[in-house]
Amino acid sequence: MSSAATTDLSTTTFDAVLFDNDGTLIDSSGAVVRAWTAWAEHHGIPLETLVGLHGVPSRGIVSRVAPHLDVDAATADIDRRELEDAEGVVALPGAREALAAVGGRAAIVTSAGRHLAVLRLDAAGLTPPAAFVTADDITRGKPDPQPFLLGAQKLGVDPARCLVVEDAPAGLQAGRAAGAATIAVTTTSGAHELAELADAVVTDLSQVTFQTVRDGVRVDLA
């Protein structure tokens, strides 16, 4: 299966679907903005330096925007702030139905740490599938393909026979680098930022119907 933008999703059967979490399955934007704004103000980091880094693990963001800080301490600080705020976190349209339809062929692959990911999924009323990859499981975060390669490995499938569902350019780049096909949702980025990285662009998962068949998962786009 090619990861090129010419992949016909409607005629492809996928071995598995690898879902990002924040911005794809759940809306945590309010909590994310509050935590990172407070963190940036505390450390004297200009807020504009954080633009365009959605989907990158917190440690990677800290290393990029504040290399002068103690990375361990500064990352622990933002992690603490995020763990203290799950207010307003909700499931995005179609997320619950997508996870239920894909079932055991689904993985969640998130740039958040495990405690934070579980906290936000619980706040949104979603249960993660057994295959669950977080920042705690990897040494290189998105846009590196390692998170999605590990997600495929946990499901025992070839990453080139997977579909990655993402909202962020960094995540789509990671999915492409892993060899997977990609669907982008425009929940946090505009279609113009995502189109070149995705085989299809939709508003949210309510525009995608997943169906488990004998040999994998089929996709219908509204």
The catalytic residues are 20, 22
Which of 108, 126, 106, 107 has its CA nearest to residue 216? 106
Burial of 215 (0-12, 13-18, 19+ CB in 10 A): exposed
Return the axis-axis angle of helices 58-65 and 71-83, rounded to nearest 10°: 130
**Cα within 13 Å of Cα(146), Cβ side:** 13
* Helical (H) or strand (E) element with 26: strand 26-27
Measured CA distances, 115 to 40, 56, 88 (Å)? 22, 17, 17
Q: How many helices (H) and strands (E) does the chain have?
A: 8, 10
